[in-house]
Amino acid sequence: MNKPFTSKHCSPISYGAPLQKKSCGSSPAKNIDFKAMGEKVEQVKRYRDYVSKKEKGYMDEEEGFIKGDPSKTVSFDRFAISEEIGKGGEAGVKAMKHYDKNKPKYSGYLSEDKRQAVKKGLNIK
């Protein structure tokens, strides 16, 4: 699930510029997990595509045009946990147990104002 952007020997980084760790003895750049950061960037891109499809609809190879339903847009956290569950295997089982334990956090859809904020944050017109 959500990996910190540092090695397991360091506390999470500060989100200021430049990216720095909070309490590690060596250079911050040596402790930043760039692979985890890249994975999160890719996941945000997938979430942006998901939100865009919910807003506008999309073409499916088998079903044809699927009408968008903005009222059924889920939060990034729920999207991320769904991807983990979808992976299956050990990661999927762990994510499913986490989901079951924290179900209220992941249930429901975004309200209109939160959905608009997400669209704005993801630059979706």
Express each pLDDT in 74-94 by its tens digit.
Answer: 999 999 999 999 988 998 999
On the question of pLDDT at 4 being above 80, the answer is no
How far, in Å, CA of 8 to CA of 91, rounded?
A: 18
On the question of pLDDT at 101 being above 80, the answer is yes
| Higher-scoring residue by pLDDT: 12, 101 | 101
Looking at residue 65, the DSSP 8-state letter turns out to be: E
Q: Does the predicted TM-score (pTM) go above 0.75?
A: no
